[in-house]
C-alpha cells in the first residue's frame, strides 16, 4: 500500500538534507516516513580491514541518528528504519515499489545552481515507476528559504498523455497552497530550417495554436483543483533550458519520464536528464506511459 514516504539514508550531508525534506513532505501528506539504508556487501577492496560488524554498526548509527533528529523536528511523525544488504540502487527501487514517494539526496554543483547526480540516484530513478524527488542540501527545510510565492513548475508535452505528471504536480501545489506553472517548449519542424523566406507570422500562428492546446490540457486539472492558481509558459526552443530557468525561484520542478524498457534497461529522456543536472530546486521525476 502506497501510504508512506521513503528516503535513502547513508550518513552523508546530502542524505540528511534529503531526510529533512522527506520528513516535511510526509507531514504534508500525513503519512509515515521510512528511512532506508542499503549496504552492498562485500565492500570495495579500498576499505581493507572493515568487517561486516563494523559496517552494520555504522549503518545502524546512521539510521538512528537520522531518525532521532527527525523525531525532534516532527514529534507526531511516525518514523521507521530499515537496513538492507543489497546494491543501493536495487534496494531503493524495491523499497520505492511500496511507497508513494522516494526521496534521494544529491550534491549541488558548488556555487552553481544544479545537481551533481550520482550513479546510484540515476540508476534508481530509471529503475522505479514510483515518483522520485532529488534534493540538494540547499533545498532542505532548514536551508536557504524558498522565495515567497514560489510555484510548483511542471514540464508538459502536448503530444503525449502526461496525466500522472500533472496529477503529481497539482497535488503538490495543492498541499503547499502555492501556484503552479506549466512549461511547454516547441520546435519548428526540421523542414522549415531549409525554407529561405519563412514567414514569422506562421511562427506566431503555431505559437498561438500550441498555447490553445496547453490550455485544453490544463483545463480538467484547473477544475479538479480550483484552489490552485495556474499559469503557463509556451516557448520555442529547448524544454530543458526553459525548465532550468523556471527552477530558479521554484518550490519544486516536476518532469515526466516515459517508461521504456529495452535490452539495456530503463533510461531517462533528454529533458529529465537536463533538469536533474541543472535545476535549482528539488526535482520530481514521474513516470508515465
Q: Would you write out the chain's pLDDT as a tens digit for each of its 289 residues?
A: 468 999 999 888 888 999 999 999 999 999 999 999 987 655 544 445 555 666 677 778 889 999 999 999 999 999 999 988 888 888 899 999 989 999 998 865 443 445 556 677 888 888 899 999 999 877 677 755 565 578 999 999 988 888 999 999 999 999 999 999 999 998 766 655 555 555 666 677 877 898 999 999 999 999 999 999 999 999 888 888 999 999 988 999 999 988 765 544 456 778 888 888 888 899 999 998 7
How many alpha carbons fall within 13 Å on the CB side of residue 204?
A: 3
How confident is the model at residue 147, as a pLDDT?
56
Q: What is the pLDDT of residue 289?
A: 73
Residues 245 and 157 in one domain: yes
List 240's β-bridge partners, or say none: none
State how far the Cα of 55 lies from the Cα of 265, in Å rounded to an integer: 30
Residues 119 and 175 in one domain: no
The answer on 66 and 87 residing in a single domain is yes
Per-residue pLDDT at 212? 93
- Does residue 286 share a domain with residue 150? yes
Q: Are residues 181 and 263 in the same domain?
A: yes
Cβ atoms 166, 139 nearer than 8 A: no
Identify whether residues 284 and 151 lie together within a single domain. yes
DSSP calls for 262-275:
-TT-----HHHHHH
The confidence score (pLDDT) of residue 112 equals 40
Map residue 213 onto helix, strand or coil.
helix
Together in a domain, 172 and 204: yes
Structural domain including 113 reads: 1-140
Number of structural domains found in the chain? 2
User: What pLDDT is stored for residue 44 in this prediction?
Assistant: 46
Would you give the end-to-end CA distance of the chain in angstroms? 21
Do 199 and 220 sit in the same domain of this protein?
Answer: yes
Task: Say what the pTM is.
Answer: 0.86
Locate all alpha helices (DSSP H) within the chain, ordered by sequence: 13-29, 52-73, 88-96, 119-127, 163-176, 200-224, 239-246, 270-278
Instruction: Clarify whether residues 183 and 118 are in a common domain.
Output: no
Cell numbers given for 199: 514567414
For residue 270, the model assigns a pLDDT of 83
Instruction: Please state, as a whole number, how many other Cβ atoms lie within 10 Å of the Cβ of residue 216.
Output: 10
User: What confidence score (pLDDT) does residue 12 get?
Assistant: 84
Q: What is the pLDDT of residues 16-64, one digit of tens each?
A: 999 999 999 999 999 999 999 987 655 544 445 555 666 677 778 889 9
Asked if residue 95 and residue 68 are part of one domain, the reply reads: yes
Computed from CA positions of residues 135, 141, 147, 152, in that sequence, does the dihedral angle turn out positive or negative? positive
Residue ending a domain, among 108, 140, 172, is 140
Question: Do 56 and 155 fall into the same domain?
Answer: no
What local confidence, expressed as pLDDT, does residue 109 receive?
A: 46
CB 39 within 8 A of CB 84: yes
- Angle (deg, nearest 10), helices 13-29 and 52-73: 40
Boundary of a domain, candidates 140, 173, 189: 140
The pLDDT score that the predictor gives to residue 274 is 84
Amino acid at each position: 500500500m502506497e501510504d508512506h514516504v521513503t528516503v535513502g539514508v547513508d550518513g552523508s550531508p546530502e542524505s540528511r538534507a534529503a531526510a529533512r525534506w522527506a520528513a516535511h513532505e510526509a507531514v504534508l501528506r500525513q503519512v509515515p516516513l521510512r528511512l532506508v539504508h542499503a549496504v552492498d556487501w562485500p565492500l570495495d577492496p579500498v576499505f581493507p580491514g572493515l568487517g561486516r560488524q563494523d559496517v552494520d554498526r555504522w549503518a545502524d548509527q546512521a539510521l538512528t541518528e537520522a531518525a532521532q533528529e527527525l523525531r525532534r523536528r516532527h514529534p507526531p511523525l511516525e518514523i521507521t528504519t530499515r537496513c538492507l544488504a543489497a546494491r543501493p540502487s536495487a534496494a531503493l527501487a524495491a523499497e520505492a515499489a511500496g511507497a508513494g514517494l522516494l526521496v534521494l539526496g544529491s550534491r549541488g554543483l558548488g556555487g552553481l545552481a544544479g545537481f551533481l547526480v550520482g550513479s546510484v540516484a540515476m540508476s534508481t530513478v530509471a529503475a522505479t515507476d514510483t515518483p522520485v524527488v532529488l534534493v540538494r542540501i540547499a533545498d532542505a527545510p532548514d536551508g536557504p528559504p524558498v522565495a515567497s510565492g514560489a510555484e510548483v513548475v511542471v514540464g508538459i508535452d502536448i503530444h503525449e498523455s502526461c496525466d500522472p505528471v500533472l496529477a503529481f504536480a497539482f497535488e503538490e501545489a495543492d498541499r503547499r497552497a502555492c501556484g503552479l506553472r506549466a512549461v511547454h517548449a516547441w520546435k519548428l519542424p526540421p523542414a522549415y530550417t531549409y525554407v529561405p523566406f519563412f514567414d514569422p507570422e506562421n511562427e506566431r500562428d503555431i505559437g498561438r495554436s500550441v498555447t490553445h492546446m496547453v490550455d485544453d490540457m490544463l483545463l480538467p486539472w484547473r477544475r479538479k483543483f480550483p484552489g490552485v492558481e495556474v499559469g503557463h509558459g509556451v516557448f520555442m526552443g529547448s524544454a530543458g533550458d526553459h525548465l532550468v530557468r523556471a527552477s530558479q525561484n521554484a518550490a519544486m520542478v516536476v518532469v515526466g519520464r516515459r517508461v521504456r524498457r529495452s535490452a539495456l534497461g530503463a533510461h531517462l529522456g533528454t529533458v529529465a536528464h537536463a533538469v536533474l543536472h541543472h535545476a535549482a530546486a528539488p526535482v520530481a521525476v514521474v513516470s508515465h506511459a
